[in-house]
Amino acid sequence: MSVPVDLGEIESTIQVFEAETGWRISLPSRVVIQQLFISLAIDSGGFKVSMSSAVRETALGIAKSALPDFLKQCLSRSQELSGQSGYQGKEIGLPVVIREMNNSATMTKCMCWPE
């Protein structure tokens, strides 16, 4: 069972974040974020719970509402790492996004995400 995902809505949220912060989400990061939403909509394996349509819709709703805060977490971590590494750019890279995905699932108490 799968549920529809509006990737345009996800992209719009990312673009608003970029406009507001002046930081850019790298292409690999963007793709992984989009793939997370697609996974929540269609994957069967890898979750802690059975992914019925109702569970998928709930998970997608939680993920969509948490996306702006997730992006802010990624920004904070990227700024912290930039200070440590001396990086002068304003791009949020894939390593930060992957790390923060796991942290975000824990913080939102996502019941489907494996620990």
pLDDT of residue 43 exceeding 90:
no
Q: What are the boundaries of each domain within the chain?
A: 7-107
> What pTM was computed for the model?
0.85
Are the CB atoms for 110 and 59 separated by under 8 Å?
A: yes
* Residue-level pLDDT at 48: 67
Q: How far apart are CA 21 and CA 35, in angstroms?
A: 23
Give Cβ neighbours of residue 7 (< 8 Å, ≥ 6 apart): 34, 37, 38
Q: How many CA atoms lie within 13 A of 115 on its CB side?
A: 6
* Residue-level pLDDT at 109: 59
Query: Mind listing the pLDDT tens digit for each residue in 80-112?
Result: 988 787 778 899 999 999 989 877 765 555 666
Closest Cα to residue 113, out of 53, 55, 65? 55
Query: Mind listing the pLDDT tens digit for each residue in 53-70?
Result: 888 888 888 889 999 999
* Residue-level pLDDT at 60: 87
* Residue-level pLDDT at 97: 94
pLDDT of residue 76 exceeding 70:
yes
Query: Mind listing the pLDDT tens digit for each residue in 10-36?
Result: 999 999 999 999 999 999 999 999 998
Helices (H), the chain: 7-21, 27-42, 53-85, 94-107
User: Which helix (H) or strand (E) element contains residue 25?
Assistant: strand 24-25
